[in-house]
Structure 1
Amino acid sequence: MTPAARFRALPLRSRIALLVTVAVAVAVAAVAGVSWVMVKSQLSEQLDRSLMATDVSAEVGRTLRDGCVTRVRQPEQQVAENLGATVQLVLADGTRCWVSGRTGLPVTAVDKEIAAGVREETLHDVRTGDGVEMRVLTLKRQTPAGQYFGISIAKPAADVDDPLSTLAWILLVVSGIGIVGAGAAGLWVARTGLRPVDELTAAVEHVARTEDLTVRIPDEGDDEIARLSRSFNSMTAALASSQERQAQLIADAGHELRTPLTSLRTNIELLARSEDTGRAIPSEDRRELLASVKAQMTELAALIGDLQELSRPDAAPHAPLGVVALHDIAGTALSRARLRGPELRFGSDLEPWYVRGEAAALERAVVNVLDNAVKFSPPGGAVEVSLRAGVLTVRDHGPGIPAEDLPHVFERFWRSPSARALPGSGLGLSIVARTVHRASGTAELRAAADGGPGTEAVLRVPGAPVPPPEGSVVPYQ
């Protein structure tokens, strides 16, 4: 397994704590490294400045006679020691004589060039015979007699290295404490921050185990976790509502199916008993029984079709949406309504109107509205249909709907007390509202606008009075 795969396999809180620890470690290492480099630079510069500020040429110049002396007088030795530096005189041939110091400094080629007057002063590092690192400043000087010589002034590099070593240990200890503390803090933050996620996980597992959709998670605050909790609560509420509607739909469907099935079974049992006993049913009664069976089967088929229509998801229509002529659909539905109510008078005023929707579903919705108008119209009554600017109005002159019943007319299986004795399932207007809503429109049932008897069904569907240009994909909604 690769390191990346192993990292992804860790729990989320462990990954967060590890990332926090690594980020803090990198930051601490960067700060410690920069601090160490800056201190080293400052100490090195300070050491170089202290060397350059040390000038013993006036004191040691008297030690030169005809050559390099091998001894230094006590006052001169004391002066050099007071300076805290190792001082060495260098001649052009590499000869050296001591002014101060317990060990000699190696004479480099650069020192010889300076002693010969070829080069100016220079700073360089050397290692003594006993392995001590020294920082050396070699100066060019000249005797009154005109003889050049060099003065090497050196201080131990330990003046810089020892404080740096101490600082490195201090930074290492402090960094280690900081990284360990950051890891502990990261783990604490991860646990605290992910506690709502743990609660959400427990709630989801509880729902999956018990199918209890009443679980709610506290959603205080406005952060991402609170938004996630609110989304979960909204989801479970929607699922609970959907489950409740589904249960209600099943219960209502069972209730509506029970009546025609009971009647159908009774009629079939009568016919079967007649065949079994040999007692013939009068022909007129037999025709009525068969007509009743046929009507009940038709009612069952219609009810099952309505249930199938309502069971479809809103986002999954039978056919792709397209631009259809609503006035043509209304005209076709009106022709079917004339056949169902031959004794009624129908008036129509249909202006051209094109909408984006599903033609078959829209036709069924208009047919359902017209069926209601035919069903509740008195014999010889009138049904008026108009389509103007995308508003389809169907007006009947029946008994009307009480105002207290209007808010319920689009509910599934709801039927007004006056309509319960009439054929129907109570799903027609639910299908109308669903279909019109899918086409981005609205459906409304209201009392007649002129104050007369009857009801107006108003369907508003967005569209245009002319079809879109050929090949256009601009929706009519």
Structure 2
Amino acid sequence: MVRRFRTLPLRSRLALLVATAVAIAVAAVAVVSWLLTRGQLYDELNTSLKNSRASDLQVKQAVAGCAGPPAVQSTSEFAYTQIVLPDGSRCVAPYSIPVKVKPSDLGVVNGSLESTLHNSVTDRGAPVRVHTYRMGVGDGQEFTVSVSRPLDEITTALDRLALLLTGLAGVGVLGAGAAGLWVARAGLKPVDQLTEAVEHVARTEDLTVRIPMEGEDEIARLSRSFNSMTAALASSRDRQARLIADAGHELRTPLTSLRTNVELLARSERTGRAIPPDDRRALLESVQAQTAELASLIGDLQELSRPDAVRSGPLTVVGLHEITTTALSRARLRGPGLTFSTDLSPWFVRAEPASLERALVNVLDNAVKFSPPGGTVEVRLRGGTLTVRDHGPGIPADELPHVFERFWRSPSARALPGSGLGLSIVARTIHQAGGEVRLEPATGGGTRALIQLPGAPVPPPGKP
């Protein structure tokens, strides 16, 4: 049953649940109302019986009926009167119907009970309500008297009430089912819109679809989340398209140059016309340089193609000053004519050593690339802030907001080697390590790169 219920549409399940809940509530109210009414009617009947005490004349007539001919019986539905004797026999008053004696009636006869109220039946099987009590007559005699009234006056009213409540409950359940279906349709309308939007996106891959948002309820939050998701997916697809387009543009130049040089070498071999040694050496050096540039570009693309949540290696506690020293040794090879002024204080951070080293190499390469011949690159590490300053031409203020964008290069630097991905990798790596990086003009000319990473001047316990 539960499995079958789960296979129903959500709208049908909501309508069924609402109808069931209302049916239970209506049934509970009906039962409680019937029980309260029944109790109230019994209380009124008990009060009426207690107030309807037999007269001395009725008692004497009942006693006379036991001594003489049988009492005249009537079908009167108001009250029946009889005297209960110690042996359980009865003396019925005229115009009354005999009622069966119960043990509680005998308890009143023998004095163990003062009075009793209970249900019984007549000799004909009709249900009655009985009040049995002790009563004295004028000559000093005392008898046990039972006064009873038919229960039909209660049961008839209760049967009518039960029928009425059943009809009202049925109407209420049907109304609740209809209301539940209407509520389910109205409440699930935004969900239907969301479903249609999702199906449209899955069918057409159109990420410009947006769902109208009204209010601050759960449906509005769901719509807002869907709109945010589609906007993020659209932005991601746009970035991916730009990355592919920019990568294709950047790959075209080295590939064209490499193809031209290889074709010259191949034509020389095919025609037998030797290329002068100096020209051949230049061609081979150009092929080697273009190959290295392609390898570097492909490596940068692979680095940037990984999702931000995916790291190339585990985070470990490393010395930023140590990684900076290693990166400086590589930068000195690329700028043999430059002077590197260093001032590094110990600072330990949690990062990926390989990625962090590559980011620092990119920053230092940028300083080497823009430093004038014989210039100085100043590298300083104090309190978790690494500063790399060159004395080159600097970066115009209007270009600073774009320096960390993929494939962006200053118009003045397009003739220099590079793909425009180095600083993008730097920003990504530093942000993953919880730090910040920025470029700013240096006083007196040049550019200053500032990298701030959270850490401590001493390694944590257990680290060398």
What TM-score, normalized by structure 1, do the two folds share? 0.92
* 1:291 counterpart (274, 281, 285): 285
Deviation at 1:127, TM superposition (A): 1.7
* 1:16 counterpart (11, 14, 26): 14
Q: Percent identity?
A: 62
**Cα 1:66/1:403, change in 2 over 3 Å:** closer
Q: Provide the C-alpha distance between the structure 1 equivalents of 2:455 and 2:55, rounded to a whole number of angstroms.
A: 105
Deviation at 1:24, TM superposition (A): 1.0
- Residue in 2 that maps onto 1:464: 456
Q: Which runs of 5+ in 2 are unaligned?
A: none
Q: Provide the C-alpha distance between the structure 2 equivalents of 1:456 and 1:409, rounded to a whole number of angstroms.
A: 13
Q: Is the 8 A contact 1:121 1:139 kept in 2?
A: yes
Q: Is the 8 A contact 2:405 2:424 kept in 1?
A: yes
Q: Provide the C-alpha distance between the structure 2 equivalents of 1:239 and 1:104, rounded to a whole number of angstroms.
A: 91
Structure 2 residue matching 1:100: 3-state secondary structure = coil
Deviation at 1:67, TM superposition (A): 5.9
In terms of mean alpha carbon deviation, does 136-145 or 394-403 score higher? 136-145
Structure 2 residue matching 1:106: 3-state secondary structure = coil
* 1:349 counterpart (343, 362, 375): 343
* 1:45 counterpart (43, 48, 60): 43
In terms of mean alpha carbon deviation, does 421-430 or 152-161 score higher? 152-161
Q: Is the 8 A contact 1:69 1:97 kept in 2?
A: no
Structure 2 residue matching 1:397: 3-state secondary structure = coil
* 2:238 counterpart (244, 247, 251): 244
Q: Provide the C-alpha distance between the structure 2 equivalents of 1:427 and 1:113, rounded to a whole number of angstroms.
A: 107
Q: Provide the C-alpha distance between the structure 2 equivalents of 1:351 and 1:306, rounded to a whole number of angstroms.
A: 30
Q: Is the 8 A contact 2:56 2:138 kept in 1?
A: no
Q: Provide the C-alpha distance between the structure 1 equivalents of 2:395 and 2:228, rounded to a whole number of angstroms.
A: 36
Q: Is the 8 A contact 2:65 2:91 kept in 1?
A: no
* 1:100 counterpart (84, 95, 98): 95
Q: Is the 8 A contact 1:440 1:462 kept in 2?
A: yes
Alignment of 1:73-472 (within 5 A): 84-92=78-86, 94-101=89-96, 103-108=97-102, 110-111=104-105, 114=108, 119-448=113-442, 450=443, 452-470=444-462
**Cα 1:23/1:287, change in 2 over 3 Å:** same
Q: Provide the C-alpha distance between the structure 2 equivalents of 1:337 and 1:168, rounded to a whole number of angstroms.
A: 96
Amino acid at match of 2:247: A
Q: Provide the C-alpha distance between the structure 2 equivalents of 1:66 and 1:283, rounded to a whole number of angstroms.
A: 154
**Cα 1:56/1:355, change in 2 over 3 Å:** same
Q: Provide the C-alpha distance between the structure 2 equivalents of 1:113 and 1:412, rounded to a whole number of angstroms.
A: 104
Q: Which runs of 5+ in 1 are unaligned?
A: 473-477
Amino acid at match of 2:47: R
**Cα 1:65/1:34, change in 2 over 3 Å:** closer
Deviation at 1:346, TM superposition (A): 0.9
1:85-124 alpha-carbon deviations (Å, 9 max, x no partner) = 12223444524232333x3323455545645667533223
Amino acid at match of 2:453: V
**Cα 1:461/1:104, change in 2 over 3 Å:** same
Structure 2 residue matching 1:458: 3-state secondary structure = strand
**Cα 1:442/1:115, change in 2 over 3 Å:** closer
Amino acid at match of 2:78: G
Deviation at 1:187, TM superposition (A): 1.1
Amino acid at match of 2:131: L
**Cα 1:178/1:121, change in 2 over 3 Å:** same
Structure 2 residue matching 1:280: 3-state secondary structure = coil
1:353-404 alpha-carbon deviations (Å, 9 max, x no partner) = 0011011111111111111111111111111000011111111111111111
Q: Is the 8 A contact 1:347 1:383 kept in 2?
A: yes
The Cα RMSD (Å) is 2.2
Deviation at 1:159, TM superposition (A): 1.7
Q: Provide the C-alpha distance between the structure 1 equivalents of 2:402 and 2:313, rounded to a whole number of angstroms.
A: 29
Q: Provide the C-alpha distance between the structure 1 equivalents of 2:110 and 2:139, rounded to a whole number of angstroms.
A: 14
In terms of mean alpha carbon deviation, does 54-63 or 347-356 score higher? 54-63
Q: Provide the C-alpha distance between the structure 2 equivalents of 1:346 and 1:118, rounded to a whole number of angstroms.
A: 118
Matched residue pairs, number? 462
Amino acid at match of 2:143: F
In terms of mean alpha carbon deviation, does 205-214 or 90-99 score higher? 90-99
